[in-house]
A = this chain, B = another copy of it.
């Protein structure tokens, strides 16, 4: 796994790690029960404070995306999210709305945005719960 951390980004480093691990999973490059790097390994690789990595893993664990087994490491969780269908829709639609508003504000045509989104969806693996 190669992560690209942009310390100049508007997003904090721990958030970028969370997003990129989620992305690896969505892309199918990380599967259920796969082991993800230890905090120390990733910290060494990215030349980042281990506390920052630990914070990212803690968030992923709270969201049910990974599980940590003391003594053996951190693994991609098999279980789906524990959130209700409504809560999920709110989360996803909130982000979709922000993207749509951004596109409308930048005067991009509806068909163009729609095409861009289909292309992006094609890159990820979607499996129903």
Contact = CB atoms under 8 A, between A and B. Distances in A.
A103 B126 contact: yes
A123 to B, nearest CB: 8
The secondary-structure label for the interface of chain A is helix
For this chain, the copies found in one complex come to 4
Contacts of A3: none
A26 B113 contact: no
B107 A114 contact: no
Chain A interface residue number, banded: 35 or more
Given A8-B68, A113-B126, A116-B89, A95 B105 contact: no
Given A26-B105, A105-B65, A108-B126, A97 B120 contact: yes
28 contacts: A8-B67, A19-B101, A25-B104, A25-B105, A26-B100, A26-B104, A26-B105, A62-B62, A63-B105, A83-B106, A84-B84, A92-B103, A95-B95, A96-B96, A96-B113, A96-B116, A96-B117, A96-B120, A100-B121, A103-B126, A108-B126, A108-B128, A108-B129, A109-B126, A110-B121, A110-B126, A114-B117, A114-B118
